[in-house]
Amino acid sequence: MPMSGEGQRAMFAAFREGKTAEEAAQKIRDSSGEQVATWVVRKRLKLWQEQQARRWAAKEQAEEIIADMKALNWGPAELIVALLTDALMMDPDSLKDGRALKVGAQNLAAERVRINRERLELEKKRVEMKERTGEVGGKPTASEKVQKVKEIYGL
């Protein structure tokens, strides 16, 4: 019988806390009341640890790639070419069903999002700068016009 969602949450929480398989099995029993054999939890712990190691390695590889890109002052086009090249080297048949091209399209979409975020940040900074220097954009309100007229004519 598969483990309930509550049991799985307890198990993965125990794994993240660095508990042993025995401690994780006890946590599952305490939280969901399910009786799970320690050998099952041990097997899942081993799989989880392997998955975490793969994720950690992928994260480190990504950080190295980003550092190299920054050092070379690469832009989005060079990044996409490098990622497509890497995808094709890992799976030469990926062009047959378009997987490599899908990766490229996803990377382009991600780059567009990044560029739009940068544009938004720049616009926010521009507006903040105008507000700090008193150069508020847009048309003045009626009360601002009245105040300006009063200042000019000393009223």
Q: What is the pLDDT of residues 77-132, one digit of tens each?
A: 787 777 778 777 877 776 677 666 676 677 778 778 888 888 889 988 888 887 77
pLDDT top residue among 13 and 129: 13
Residue spans of the domains in the chain: they are 1-62, 74-155
Residue of 63, 9, 58 lying closest to 34 (CA atoms): 9
pLDDT top residue among 141 and 152: 152
Mean of pLDDT values over 34-49? 94
Return the structure tokens found at 68: 């190299």
CA atoms within 13 A on the CB side of 9: 6
What is the SS3 assignment for 35? Answer: coil
Mean pLDDT of the chain: 84
Residue of 59, 61, 12 lying closest to 36 (CA atoms): 12
Is the pLDDT at 41 greater than 90? The verdict is yes
Strands (E), 27-71: none
* Cβ(122)–Cβ(115) below 8 Å: no
Residue type, 120: L
Residue type, 14: A
The pLDDT score that the predictor gives to residue 136 is: 58
Considering all CA atoms of the chain, what is the largest pairwise distance in Å, rounded to the nearest integer?
Answer: 89
